[in-house]
Amino acid sequence: MRSGATVQTAANQRLRAKGKGFVNAFRRLRINPLWFVVGPMVLIIVGLLLTIFWISFIAGLPGTPEAHYSIANYHNLYADSFVVTVLLNTLGFAIATTVVALFFGVSIAWFVERTDLPGKSSIYAIMSLGILMPGFFTAMGWLFLLHPRIGIVNRWIMDLTGLTSAPLSITNLIGMGWVQGLNLTALAFIMTTASFRSMDPALEEAATVHGASFGQMLRSVFGPLMLPGLVASAIYIFTISIGVFDTPAIIGLSNRIFTFSTYVYTQSITEDALPDYGVVAAMSSLMTALALLLAYYYSGVIKKSYQYQIVTGKGYRPHLYRLGRWTGPVWGFIGLYFLLSKVLPFLLLVWASLLRYFQPPSMQALAGISLQNFRDMPLDLLARSGLNSAILMIIVPTLAVAISFGFSWIVVRTNFRFRMVLDFFAFLPHAVPSIIFGVGALFVALFVLKGIPLYGSLTLLGIVYVVDRLTFGTRLLNSALIQVHHDLEEAATVCGATGMKVARSVLAPLVLPAILSGWLWMGLLTLRELTLATILFTPNNVTMPVVIWSIWSSGNYGIASSITLVLLLCLAPLVLVYWIIGRHSMLRD
Amino acid sequence: MKRKSLGSLAVIGALLMLEAFPVSDVSASEVQQLIAAAKEKGETVLNLSWGQQSMGGSKGAKRFEALFNRMYGTNVKVNFTPGPSMPRIIGKVTQELAAGTKASTDVLLGTESHYGSLMKKSVMEPYNYRKLSARITDEVMAPRNIGVEVATFISGIVYNTQIVSPAEAPKHLKDVLNPKWKGKIASTPYAAQFDRIALLPGWGNEKMKGFITKLSNNVGGLIRCGEISRITSGEFVMMAMGCGSYAVRLEQAKGAPLGHVILQDGGTISFFYWGVPQNATAPNLAKLFINMAMSEEGQKVVYKNYATDHHALPGSQWAAELKGYKDRNIPILEVDAQYVADHPEQRKLGRALSKILRKKR
C-alpha cells in the first residue's frame, strides 16, 4: 500500500509529465504560448467591433423590442451636410493638438533622458500627477485667461494698449488644439522617453566624428531612430483628439465649433428622448476607416524596424549631453509648460474648491471663500467609488502590460505572417470612440453573455479597460522592443533558450523601463477613465471619475474641485513612490 | 420565530407611524401592504440614480432617506449613485429590462419628454398610486399610471445681474434679437424650450423656425443646461432659453448674480416624473418612496433639495411664483407627458431648431 505522500508525488509527476506533453505538443505545432494571452484578447476586440458594426445597422435602442435593422443611421449621417464641417473641424483640432503635444512632450522627454538637466527626476512625478487633472479644469482655466470677453490676459492687454477689442481668443480650432495639446503632452512625453532612454550613443559618436552639426544629427540620426516612437505617439494622440469631449464641449461649443465628439453628443439626443447609439456607431465606421489608414502607415514603419534597432549586445550606455549655460533656459521652457498645463489648472482647481459658486478670480470673490465644498463632499459615495477605482487601478495595468507585451513580442519579434494584422487589432480599440466601445460592451454583457454575471460588475469594467489600454501598451512596448537588436535573442537561442525563456530573460529585462512606466501610466489612465465608466456603471461598480464628472456636469464645480484636490493629495505620495521605484530599476539596469 | 416576532413588531411600528401621519383607511391599508410586501421580499436597500443636481443629488438622497424611515418606521438604506443624463439612464434601464437584468435605479426620474416616450414602451410598472394617498390625484398621475408628477418647473431667460440690469433684461422673446446682445447670448445645443414656446398663442412651428434663424445670428455659443455658471462668470450675459427657474434659484441661494425672467410671450410648465421600472430591485420600497415624496413633508424636502415642488399639491411653495406670472397675465401652458405624446411634431421641431442653432451665420 502506497502512502499518501507517494500517491501525491506520483500524481504530481503525472501532471508534470502531462504538462511537458502539452508544451511539447505546442512546440510540435509551433504554437507560441503567448497566443494564449493574445488570442482571447483578439477575440474580445473582434467581438466588440463586430457588435459596434452591428449596432450601426440598428435603428432604435439596441436590444429593446423597438429596435430594428435599418440603414437609416448611415443615411442620416451622410445626408447631413454639416458632417463635412464637423470632419474638417475635427481634423484641424486633432492636428493642432498633436503638434502641441509632440512639441512639448518630445522636447521635455529629450531634456530628461538625454541631458544632464539637474532635478529632472521631479519632472516624472509632476507629469504623472498632472495627468490626473481633469481636462475640463484646464479648459475652463484657459477660458478665464484668453476668452475675448472675460479673459484676464485680454483685459490686461486692452487696458495697456487701449485696444477696443480682445486681441487674443482661445475659442477657435488652434486655441482648442493648444489646450488639448497641453493636456496630452504628458502622454507624448511618456511614449517617447523610452526611445530616448535606450538610444545607442555609438551612432551619435559616429556622426560627431564625421563633423555633423546638432541639426544634421537631429535630421539624420535622432529623427530616424525616433521615428517609430514618434509615429506611434502622434497616431495615438491624434486619435485621442478625435474622440475627446472636454475641450470641444467647453471651448468649442462656446463658439459653435463642432467636432466629432460634440456632434455625436448632439446627434445622440433624439426626438424619442432616448439615446441614439446607432448613429454614433455609424459615425464610428468613419473613424475605423481612418484608423485603418493610420495603422497601415504605422505597419510600414514597423516593417522597417530593423533600421531602428539600437540596443545591441555590444554594450550600450546612453550618452548624456551637457547643458551647461543652457540649463537655465531649458528649465525656463519646462517651467513655462508646467505653469501653463499644470499650475494654472491646479490653481483654478483650488480656487473653484473654495467658492460657493463659480466666478472669475477677483478681490470680491476672494472675500467669499470658504471650505464648505469640502464639508459637502458625499463621503459614503466617495468611499464606494474610491475602492472600485483603486482595485481597477491595480488590476487593469497589470493585465494590460502582460497582454500588450504578448502582442508586441509577436508583432515585433516574430515572423508570424499576419503580425501586422495583429498590431492593427491592438490599435483598433483606440480608434473606435470610447462611447461606442462602451455601448458595444454593454450590449454584449447584457444580451450576448446573459448567463454570465458580467453586467454591473468590476470584472466587466476591468476587461473593457484592458482592451482600451491595449493600444497604449502596445505602442509603448512596440517602440521599446524595436530598439532591442535581434543579436541578443539569437545569442540566447544559440545557448538553448526557448522562445518564452528569451522573452522572459532577455527581452523583458531590457524593456523593463518601458514596462514599468507603461504600468504606472496605464494605472493613472485607468484611474481617470470616464467615458467607458459612464456607459457601463451601475451602483455596484461606480468609479471615482463618474462621481466627479456627475457632480461637475450638474454645475457643482466647487464640490467636484474639492474631490479632485483630495484625490490628487491622496495620490501624490503614491506617484512619487512609483517613480522612485521606476528610476531605481532604470539605474540598476 | 425570533424573525417573525421582529417582523410583527416592525409592522406594528409602521402602523403606529401611520397613525402619526393621518391618511385615509384605504391608503393606510395599501401602504401597510407595501411595507409588508417589502419585508416579505427582503427589500432593505433602495437604489436611486439620477444626476447629482437633480433632486439634491447625494445630499438630497440622505434627506429623503431620513424622511422615509421616519414616515414608515423602517430602517431602509438609500443607496444613491449619481448618474449621467436622464436619457442615458432611461436608455440603460430600458436595455436592462430587455435583457432581463435588474434596473440600475428603483425609481426612474424623467421629464415629460421622457415619460411621453416611456408611456409607449413597457418599461415602467403601471401602478395606481392614487391608492397610496389622497394627495395623489388624477391631476398628478402620469398617463397609463406609469408614474407621478413629483415637481413642476417653468423656464425663461437666465441672465447675469451684474452685466444685465433687470430693466434691460428681455421682456419678450424678440428682445433677445437686439443687436447689443450679438455674440453674448448662449443657447443650448438641443435648443431647449423653443419647441414648447412654439405652442404658445401667437407662435407656431414655422414662425419659431424663422425666429431661431434670426436668433442664430445673435447667439455666441452653446452651453449645456448644467452650465449656467458660465452665465455667472460673465462668459455669456444671458442664456436663451434656460432649463428651469429652479436651477437659477439653487444658484441664487449660493449668492450667484443670476436673474430669471419669464417672457410676456408666455411660459410653459414642465414636469419631473417619478415611476418604478418593471425590473426594479425593490419595487415596493420604490412605490413607498414616491408616496413619501408626494406627502406634504416629502414635498418640503423636494423643494429644499431642488428649489421646486408640484404647484398643484396643497402646501406648494412654488405655487406662489406661478400665481405671480398668472396675475401678470402671462399665458401659461402646461406640457405634460400626454401632451408630448399627442404632439410628436414638436420633437421634430426641436431637432430642426437645434440644427439651425448649430450653424454659425
pTM here is: 0.80
User: B220 in contact with A at a CB cutoff of 8 Å?
Assistant: yes
Q: Which residues of A touch B87 (CB under 8 A)?
A: 269-270, 273-275
pLDDT at residue B45 is higher than 90: yes
Q: Which B residues 111-140 touch A at CB under 8 Å? A: 113-114, 116-117, 121-122
Rounded Cα–Cα distance for residues A263 and A269 (Å): 10
User: B232 in contact with A at a CB cutoff of 8 Å?
Assistant: yes
* The predicted structure's pLDDT at residue B138: 94
The Cα of B122 is separated from the nearest Cα of chain A by a number of Å equal to 9
Closest Cβ–Cβ partner in B47, B53, B233 for A554: B53
Q: Are strands B185-187 and B219-222 parallel, antiparallel or unpaired?
A: parallel
* The predicted structure's pLDDT at residue A1: 39
User: How large is the greatest C-alpha to C-alpha distance in chain A, in angstroms?
Assistant: 104
* The predicted structure's pLDDT at residue B283: 97
Which amino acid is residue B54, in one-letter code?
S
Confidence of residue B4 (pLDDT cuts 50, 70, 90): very low
B311-337 residue pLDDT tens: 999 999 999 989 999 898 899 999 999
Q: Which of B45, B88, B92, B239 to mutate to test the interface with A (most CBs of A within 10 A)?
A: B92
**SS3 of B80, please?**
strand
User: Of all helices (H) and strands (E), which one includes residue B333?
Assistant: strand B332-334
B347–A272 CB contact, under 8 Å: yes
Q: Least CA distance to B54: which residue of chain A?
A: A554
Residues in Cβ contact with B61 at an 8 Å cutoff, skipping those fewer than 6 apart:
B48, B55, B78, B80
A555–B47 CB contact, under 8 Å: no
Q: Least CA distance to B359: which residue of chain A?
A: A256
Rounded Cα–Cα distance for residues A498 and A489 (Å): 10
Closest Cβ–Cβ partner in A171, A270, A554 for B226: A554
Closest Cβ–Cβ partner in B59, B95, B189 for A376: B59
Q: Which residues of A touch B344 (CB under 8 A)?
A: 271
Q: Least CA distance to A545: which residue of chain B?
A: B82
**SS3 of A564, please?**
helix
B104–A266 CB contact, under 8 Å: no
User: B251 in contact with A at a CB cutoff of 8 Å?
Assistant: yes
Residue range A61-74: mean pLDDT, rounded? 81
Confidence of residue A31 (pLDDT cuts 50, 70, 90): low
Rounded Cα–Cα distance for residues B205 and B124 (Å): 31
In the DSSP assignment, the letter for residue A318 is P
* The predicted structure's pLDDT at residue A13: 58
B221–A149 CB contact, under 8 Å: no
Residues in Cβ contact with A550 at an 8 Å cutoff, skipping those fewer than 6 apart:
B51, B52, B82, B83, B84
B82–A381 CB contact, under 8 Å: yes
Q: What is the mean pLDDT of chain A?
A: 79
* DSSP-assigned letters across all residues of B208-226: HHHHHHHHHHHEEEE--GG
B113–A273 CB contact, under 8 Å: yes
User: B271 in contact with A at a CB cutoff of 8 Å?
Assistant: no
Residues in Cβ contact with A512 at an 8 Å cutoff, skipping those fewer than 6 apart:
A585, A586, A589
The Cα of A452 is separated from the nearest Cα of chain B by a number of Å equal to 11
B116–A273 CB contact, under 8 Å: yes
**R_g of chain A, CA atoms, integer Å:** 26
Query: Comparing C-alpha atoms, which of A234, A240, A239 is closest to residue A100?
Result: A234
Closest Cβ–Cβ partner in A255, A271, A557 for B350: A271
Query: Comparing C-alpha atoms, which of B166, B162, B171, B334 is closest to residue B262?
Result: B171
The Cα of A155 is separated from the nearest Cα of chain B by a number of Å equal to 13
* The predicted structure's pLDDT at residue A396: 95
Q: Which residues of B touch A269 (CB under 8 A)?
A: 87, 189-190
Which amino acid is residue A396, in one-letter code?
V
The Cα of A543 is separated from the nearest Cα of chain B by a number of Å equal to 10
The residue with greater pLDDT, A51 or A91, is: A91
B94–A269 CB contact, under 8 Å: no
Please state, in angstroms and as integers, the Cα–Cα distance from residue A17 to each residue in A9, A161, A496, following that order: 12, 85, 21
pLDDT at residue B23 is higher than 60: no
Q: Which residues of B touch A447 (CB under 8 A)?
A: 98-99
Closest Cβ–Cβ partner in B49, B52, B121 for A554: B52
The Cα of B230 is separated from the nearest Cα of chain A by a number of Å equal to 8
In this predicted structure, which of A166-175, A525-534, B5-14, B38-47 has the lowest mean pLDDT? B5-14
Residue range B156-179: mean pLDDT, rounded? 93
Q: Which residues of A touch B232 (CB under 8 A)?
A: 357-359
Rounded Cα–Cα distance for residues A128 and A508 (Å): 23
Please state, in angstroms and as integers, the Cα–Cα distance from residue A465 to each residue in A64, A400, A523, B26, following that order: 26, 8, 10, 52
User: Of all helices (H) and strands (E), which one includes residue B269?
Assistant: strand B267-275
Q: Which residues of B touch A553 (CB under 8 A)?
A: 51-52, 224, 226
In this predicted structure, which of A22-31, A38-47, A499-508 has the lowest mean pLDDT? A22-31
Closest Cβ–Cβ partner in B79, B83, B227 for A550: B83
A360–B233 CB contact, under 8 Å: yes
B95–A258 CB contact, under 8 Å: no
Q: Is the preceding omega at residue B241 within 30 degrees of 0, hence cis?
A: yes
Closest Cβ–Cβ partner in B122, B235, B358 for A143: B235
ipTM above threshold 0.90: no
Backbone phi, psi, residue B277, to 5°:
-65, 150
> For residue A30, how many other CB atoms are within 10 A of its CB?
7
A111-160 residue pLDDT tens: 888 888 888 777 877 777 667 677 777 787 888 888 888 788 888 888 88
User: B77 in contact with A at a CB cutoff of 8 Å?
Assistant: no
A441-490 residue pLDDT tens: 888 888 888 778 888 899 999 999 999 888 888 888 887 787 777 777 77
A334-386 residue pLDDT tens: 999 988 888 887 888 888 889 888 777 778 888 888 999 999 898 988 999 99
Closest Cβ–Cβ partner in B82, B91, B251 for A357: B251
B98–A147 CB contact, under 8 Å: no
Residues in Cβ contact with A190 at an 8 Å cutoff, skipping those fewer than 6 apart:
A109, A127, A476, A517, A521
Q: Which three cell numbers stand for residue B360?
A: 454659425
Q: How many CA atoms lie within 13 A of A554 on its CB side?
A: 24
Q: Which three cell numbers stand for residue A341?
A: 498645463
Query: Comparing C-alpha atoms, which of B241, B215, B53 is closest to residue B159?
Result: B241
Confidence of residue B292 (pLDDT cuts 50, 70, 90): very high
CA torsion sign for A11, A12, A17, A21 is: positive
Rounded Cα–Cα distance for residues B318 and B312 (Å): 9
pLDDT at residue A581 is higher than 70: no
User: B278 in contact with A at a CB cutoff of 8 Å?
Assistant: no
> For residue A297, how many other CB atoms are within 10 A of its CB?
12
Q: Are strands B238-239 and B258-261 parallel, antiparallel or unpaired?
A: unpaired
pLDDT at residue B128 is higher than 70: yes
